Amino acid sequence: MGKKRTLTEAETLEQYRVAFENVEKQTEIATTMAEFGYEEALLNEGKTLLTNAREAYDANKTEDDETTIAYNNFSTIKGQLETEYSLHRKKGKVVFRKDENLLTKLGLTGSLPTIYIKWLETVKKFYAVAAGNTEIETALARLKVTPTELQETRTLITVLETARADYLKEKGESQDATKLKDAAVGAISDWMSEFYAIAKIALDDNPQLLESLGKFVRS
């Protein structure tokens, strides 16, 4: 026997929507369920919970999309900076290979950190020292690293920091939206759990009507 597939949240919310629509439109179901307390007022309570859940679900999806876009932007800019700095780092090590003090000042000694913050600090150190320093700029120009290029790459660091801040903001908003969505979906699911339990009792003599409420019934 195959394992029953778990519905996605979107599928679950659609099942609930169909249940509310049919419990009101199909006279036999409406009459029977009303006898068990599911009259207009109680059904409206459930529909309100469903509306809240749907809105929270949609808002969460929007925040997730915005987070993905912000991360992709951050990742792209980081990749650009990594490429630029990698080339400048190699050239700097060659040009200043005989000057240990300058290598240290430029952050060109040892291995390049992989942890983001430490990596960024190493990158920032190089351009903060090199950009605007005539002696260093002249030396790097021998390997076709222009002062303009150093300044542009330094500016790219600022762009990257802004992109990361935007990504972290969107990530936080997405996490908050997820909590709200989980709470709203949990509320309607709890309400529907009782609704279906009572519907199963109310429609016991005509179980096929349960399928109109989104519940599959074996023949």
Task: Please name which of 142, 156, 146 lies closest in space to residue 82, comparing C-alpha atoms.
Answer: 156
| pTM to 2 decimal places | 0.85
Phi, then psi, of 97 in degrees rounded to 5? -60, -25
Q: Is residue 49 domain-resident?
A: yes
Place of tokens 């169909």: 18
CA–CA gap between residue 160 and residue 25 (Å, rounded):
56
Q: What is the domain extent for residue 163?
A: 9-213
Residue 24 above 60 pLDDT? yes
Task: Please name which of 143, 136, 133, 130 lies closest in space to residue 91, comparing C-alpha atoms.
Answer: 143
Question: What is the average per-residue pLDDT within 21-45?
Answer: 93
Q: Is residue 3 domain-resident?
A: no
Question: What is the average per-residue pLDDT within 20-37?
Answer: 92
Percentage of the residues of the chain whose pLDDT score is greater than 90: 87
Q: How many domains does the chain have?
A: 1
* Chain CA centroid to CA 122, Å: 29
How do residues 157-196 score in pLDDT, each as one tens digit?
999 999 999 999 999 999 999 999 999 999 999 999 999 9
Question: What is the average per-residue pLDDT within 199-211?
Answer: 84
pLDDT of residue 218: 52
Question: What is the average per-residue pLDDT within 67-76?
Answer: 98
Alpha helices, DSSP H only, in the chain? 9-25, 27-35, 40-95, 100-105, 116-130, 134-141, 147-202
Q: Is residue 78 domain-resident?
A: yes
Contact 177, 73 (CB under 8 A): no
pLDDT of residue 1: 44
Q: Is residue 2 domain-resident?
A: no
